[in-house]
Amino acid sequence: MIDLTHNKAYAKNMFSDYLADFLDYMEVEKGRSLKTIENYSLYLNRFYEFAGDIKVGKIDLDMVSKWRKWLNRYKGEDGREVSKTTQNYHLIALRSFLKYLARRDVKALAPEKIELASSKRPQVSFLDADEVMALFDACDTSNIIGLRDRAILELLFSTGLRVSELVKLNIDSINLDKGEFSIRGKGQKDRPVYISDSAKEAIHNYLKERKDNYEALFVQASKRKNEEDVTISRLTTRTIQRIVERYRTKAGITKHVTPHTLRHSFATDLLGNGADLRSVQSLLGHANIATTQIYTHVTDPQLKEIHKKFHSK
């Protein structure tokens, strides 16, 4: 007896036949975040834009090579080119798609045959202790906006949170008495987060002045022209970025500073004071320790003493 369901599944052989199923698989079975699914959809639709709706069995190394050249010359509607790092993300998405096909016994190019391009490691930018304090001190804590912004900056540096994680926090997300909470980060992985005494105090001072009942930890109040009603809303990642930039300018810091710079500063401060790499990896929520290792070349606490002891005067 012919298994019609089996034949129907294997009758599909076009790229478009599998794309939606693959994205559903990544979300439901692999537990990838919606942002990751959105990115994979973008990258694979660019492959579709390049190659058309071809049979998956037609994808070979020659086609991948031509797609890489196409990506290297690609420009978006805003005129921006695709960086080497982002080109690799496209290749990673295609490899994941091919792995998905292999798991379902669909004949296609072996994913391990696709090699990523070598890309220049980004330079880690971080603030030293004096710069961090200058950033904090730039906040005018005589008003609730300044109290809020001080709490934001203190929490970013104290915890190493990603800005996307920070904006999702609710008041009941954190335990100020214990000074710790749990966060679900990239890849839907939970990790412990610990708050310094200074950050706890900054958050307490801010919440003490809050008069609203809104659940979000960090909010902004706004009202339309000629209206008395005030609307309370959760801060966005873009707003946090603007806040950090504003205080960078006020503090007279010439470095390029973003919320992620404070995450870098958190990591380099820990490693510079002797924390082990594995612990820092856990605190940052890095899936791969190689990601954490980008900090070691600027934070090894022994290098300075070795230089001082052995370098000729």
Name the helix (H) or strand (E) containing 151: helix 144-159
Query: Of these residues, 40, 206, 247, 295, which one is catalytic?
Result: 295
CA-nearest of 235, 166, 171, 157 to 208 is 171
Catalytic residue among 68, 99, 186, 234: 186
Instruction: Go through the chain and tell me how many residues it has.
Output: 313
Active-site hit among 74, 260, 309, 311: 260
- Comparing CA positions, the residue from 185, 190, 200 lying closest to residue 155 is 200
Instruction: Give the active site residue among 162, 200, 248, 264.
Output: 162
- Six-digit token string for 301: 């606490």
Known catalytic membership, residue 295? yes
Ramachandran angles phi, psi of 89, nearest 5°: -60, -35
One DSSP character per residue, 239-255 reads: HHHHHHHHHHHHHT--S
Residue 250 bears catalytic tag: no
Burial class (CB in 10 A: 0-12, 13-18, 19+), 264: buried
* Sequence letter at residue 199: A
Would you state the structure tokens that stand for residue 209, as one six-digit string?
């002045």
- Would you give the distance in Å from CA 88 to the centre of its chain? 16
Long-range CB pairs of 37-43 (<8 Å, 24+ gap) are: 39/89, 39/93, 40/93, 40/96, 40/97, 43/89, 43/90, 43/93, 43/94
Amino acid at 83: S
Pair 61, 115: CB distance under 8 Å = no
Q: Rounded to whole angstroms, how far apart are CA atoms 275 and 252? A: 30
Distance between CA 54 and CA 15 in Å, rounded? Answer: 6
The answer to whether 286 is a known catalytic residue is yes
Q: Quick check: is 206 catalytic?
A: no
**Any idea which residues carry the catalytic annotation?**
162, 186, 260, 263, 286, 295
